Amino acid sequence: MIKAFQIISILEGISLLLILFVTMPLKYIFEMGMPNQIIGMAHGVLFLVYVVMAIVFKTELNWNFKTLLIVLACSIIPFGTFWMDKKYLAGKA
């Protein structure tokens, strides 16, 4: 199950980076909104799964509330999920 959370966290991080650095410039500079809609929907689903899995793993990995907040905050910071994976999940799978 931890391996699934690692995969979701990496995919969520990649989708955030795609939105910020690929689809948003396409949308606002080149007026191509479709990539943003597709990646945005995927990112939304991945984000929700990430949040639910983080809450589930709070008890399984004995995280305190502060750690849970850090893990959740990592989902909205570019490259945050990659750091979170290394700090809190590496070696646990």
CA 36/CA 20 separation, integer angstroms: 10
Q: What is the pLDDT of residue 84?
A: 95
pTM given for the model:
0.91
End-to-end Cα separation, the chain, in angstroms = 8
- Asked if 63 and 42 count as a contact pair (C-beta separation under 8 A), the reply is no
Q: What is the pLDDT of residue 93?
A: 63
Q: What is the DSSP letter of 5?
A: H
**For the chain (length 93 residues), average pLDDT per consecutive 10?**
93 97 96 95 97 94 95 96 92 71
